[in-house]
Amino acid sequence: MYERAVIFDLDGVIVDSHDVMRRAFVTAHAEVVGAGEAPFAEYERHQGRYFTDIMTIMGLPLEMEGPFVRESYRLEGEVAVHDGVRELLAELRTLGFGLAIATGKSGVRARSLLRCLGLLSSFDHVLGSDEVARPKPAPDIVQRALALLGTAPDSAVMVGDAANDVIAARQAGVTAIGALWGALDADDLMVARPEFVLRSPVELLQVLPLPVVAT
């Protein structure tokens, strides 16, 4: 159980998966929909939600999930870890913070990606949106992470690159921190009014509480 904890979004915060995600989406669109430009920019605006929920919102076939997931697994080794993230996670672990991932990806895919990148062991828990009743911006996934970590909401922060992360954190009673280093829509993130806004991962250490020891 942890007195203090940090909950992270995955894509755009821990990893830069933009190009891999685009390639997987374009392939899935071509296989299922056929000719025409894949509306990837619109897809990105809904990041944080589960894939099939996004397809429903966009009016695209749910069958796109199969090839999208297949390509995501095939390309996961090409996903980049954001500069400074490995060092930040190591320092947070040394300081005794509980660490969790709360992502719009499925839990299985998120854990596979982190394992591939050598980061899975950096986190106490990795949660996907398919493992809670409601995805972000609902607070369910943040609340679940808190329960698993044994941390009170007012002793935790959520680091995300999208408005949905901020809204989910706020509804869960957790301090919301905006990560500009991977944000696709900084204006949208800022409109959600996170309590802190950071331009690099290392800046997180400047806004967290004093070091604590895990119990």
Catalytic residues: 9, 11
CA pair distance 146, 156, nearest whole angstrom? 8
DSSP 54-120: HHHHHT--GGGHHHHHHHHHHHGGGPEEPTTHHHHHHHHHHHT-EEEEEESS-HHHHHHHHHHTT-G
CA pair distance 94, 20, nearest whole angstrom? 32
Comparing CA positions, the residue from 90, 126, 92 lying closest to residue 106 is: 126
Type of residue numbered 210: L
Q: Which residues pair with 49 in a beta bridge?
A: 47
The bridge status of strand 15-16 relative to strand 80-81 is antiparallel
Comparing CA positions, the residue from 137, 130, 205 lying closest to residue 172 is: 137
Which positions ≥6 away from 47 have C-beta within 8 Å?
A: 11, 12, 104, 162, 164, 184
State how far Cα 2 lies from the chain centre.
21
